[in-house]
Amino acid sequence: MKNTLPKTLFAMALTIALLAPSVRAANTIETEPLKLNLPLHTLKGTPEDLPAGPNIEPPSDKAPPPINVPKGVRNVAAGKSVTSSVPPFLGDLSQITDSKKEPLDDDATEFKKGVQWVQVDLGQSFAIHAVAMWHDHRYVQVMRDVILQVSDDPEFHSGVTTLYNNDVDNSAGLGVGTDREYFELEFGRVAVGKGVKARYVRGYTRGSSQSALNCWQEIEVYALPVK
């Protein structure tokens, strides 16, 4: 008789354990690794005087591990309209969402120095799960003050969510970032969105380790329709 209670508890625990997977499956969105269409490898050789420091990821020939995103996300930025803090002096804003990002001069849009931004209008709010950005991987260089924000406000005055910020000394004036600097390579950089709902995506930079000028090649926004 003294074993009855533990046996009953064991039976209950077993029942819960057997039921749990089906309960979990009903509440979980199916995910898969984000698959990017990567451009060719950066053609120019690696310079000898690479910047270094605790806040800079060393360059790697291997792609970083992909993030997981819900099945069915697609690049909703492709072909969408782009605005910017200043007009480009080389290239066209439409090239930032034209799906081309090879390490070629023809695939780069350049802006004057200072803190500058480009902004994609997705046309409507989406549940954003990842934003991939390529600034300028014609050269192995570190972009400064890489800040990526999303909002439903085209002026970015309210409802702003920051998805990436590596401005650790707040030189861009948008707040201290905790992300790391990285070398521009064919892998670009992926910011995690976690389903944040927004219509506008804005990316800031302030020159690079190689140039005071700003440059963009592509922004891809992997998202689902808002339910």
Contact residue for Ca ion among 218, 219, 220, 223 (CB under 5 A): 218
Task: Report in angstroms how near the CB of residue 28 gets to Ca ion at its nearest.
Answer: 35
Nearer to Ca ion, 37 or 158 (CB): 37
Q: How far is CA 3 from the centre of its chain?
A: 57
Task: Report in angstroms how near the CB of residue 48 gets to Ca ion at its nearest.
Answer: 24
Distances (CA, A) of 21 to 24, 27, 71, 131: 5, 10, 20, 31
Rule CB under 5 A: is residue 95 a binding residue for Ca ion? yes
Q: Interface mask (CB under 5 A) for Ca ion, residues 157-176, using x and -?
A: ----------x-x-x-----
DSSP H/E element including 211:
none
Counting beta carbons within 10 angstroms of the beta carbon of residue 71, is it exposed (0 to 12), middle (13 to 18) or buried (19 or more)?
A: exposed
Rule CB under 5 A: is residue 180 a binding residue for Ca ion? no
Rule CB under 5 A: is residue 181 a binding residue for Ca ion? no
Beta strands in the chain (DSSP E): 31-33, 68-70, 74-75, 81-84, 109-111, 116-134, 147-151, 161-165, 189-205, 214-216, 218-225
Q: Closest Cα partner for 219 from 147, 132, 160, 154?
A: 132
Piece in contact with Ca ion (CB under 5 A), picked from 1-9, 26-34, 48-56, 90-98: 90-98
Task: Report in angstroms how near the CB of residue 82 gets to Ca ion at its nearest.
Answer: 10
Nearer to Ca ion, 55 or 125 (CB): 55
Binding site for Ca ion (CB under 5 A): 95, 98, 100-101, 145, 167, 169, 171, 218
